[in-house]
Amino acid sequence: MSATVSNFYYGAVTPVSAYLMACLGAALGLRCTTRSLRRPHRRAAWLALGAVSIGCGIWTMHFIAMIGFSVQGALVGYDPTKTLLSLVVAIVVVALGVFLVGHRGGSPVNLALAGTVTGLGVAAMHYLGMGAIHTNGTLHYDTPTVALSVAIAVAAATAALWAAVSIHKLWSSLGAALVMGVAVTGMHYTGMAAVSVHLTGTSAVGQSSTNLLSFLLVMLAGPLAVLLIAAVIVMFDPDMMLGDDDWDHAAPAAPQPARQPSPPSPPHTSW
């Protein structure tokens, strides 16, 4: 028997919160990448922080959105190991893309390669997280919709990596983060539109229990703390408000070569 599936059990609260988390992770990642370009001696550290921020933002978006996931007539639970593994996958694949463009530049070939790898990884994170679901039924996926969600993930990842190496002004970065939030959240809900559940048993519970909500909140606590720490680091960085032009103006001018004194003029003699 097919069950009625909802992704908005709590109304707009979960999609809006998920979108904000995706935007926060993207914004922090873009600002960290900007710092990596300005400070080559600390490039690896800034790129790593950016990758962790984006990865945690995407993963947090996914599981906040999943709080609103319900199956009528079924109890929903999650496997902790697969849930944590999906977080590791999100961070690792984002790191691959960020380090590739951070060290090799934003050429079309690099962006295409990094965007494809990262997008496929984000999609893998999403479906691995879905694979962690336990319920008294089986999940089925509509193949064309799944393919569309993967294509959106690749496009979103490529755009994010392009923005990371091309957009450095503060307000432009924030605008790009808002757009990336739409893309990442859209990928999630496109993937969720592919899901149908066929019940194999009966349950008196029509929605996830309080224990499930507590589990997800505990899972979210770590990534949220990481995002908070990253935000503090970025906010207290001295050049947080600088963009490309501001950075050029703030940078010390290159020292000019010392002018050689001109040779003294020969004494003028009157005859």
Instruction: Look at residues 247, 217, 160 and name the one whose alpha carbon lies nearest to residue 17.
Output: 217
d(CA 231, CA 251): 24
pLDDT digits (tens, 9 = 90+) for 231-266: 998 888 765 545 444 444 444 444 444 555 555 555
Residue ranges per structural domain of the chain: 2-246
The token duo for 146 is: 């799944």
Q: What is the pLDDT of residue 208?
A: 45
Q: What is the pLDDT of residue 167?
A: 79
What is the chain's alpha carbon radius of gyration, rounded to the nearest angstrom?
25
> Is pLDDT larger for residue 269 or for residue 123?
123
Determine the straight-line distance between the first and last CA of the chain, rounded to whole angstroms: 122
How sure is the predictor about 59, in pLDDT bands with cuts at 50, 70 and 90?
very high
Average pLDDT for 61-66:
92
d(CA 202, CA 153): 35
How sure is the predictor about 270, in pLDDT bands with cuts at 50, 70 and 90?
very low
pTM of whole model > 0.75?
yes
φ, ψ for residue 134, nearest 5 deg: -115, 130
pLDDT digits (tens, 9 = 90+) for 166-192: 877 877 888 888 888 899 999 999 999
d(CA 224, CA 215): 14
d(CA 44, CA 22): 23
| Other residues' Cβ atoms within 10 Å of the Cβ of residue 231 | 15
Q: What is the pLDDT of residue 41?
A: 82
Average pLDDT for 55-81:
88
Instruction: Look at residues 79, 77, 68, 64 and name the one whose alpha carbon lies nearest to residue 10.
Output: 68
Tell me the one-letter amino acid at 62.
H
Q: What is the pLDDT of residue 262?
A: 56
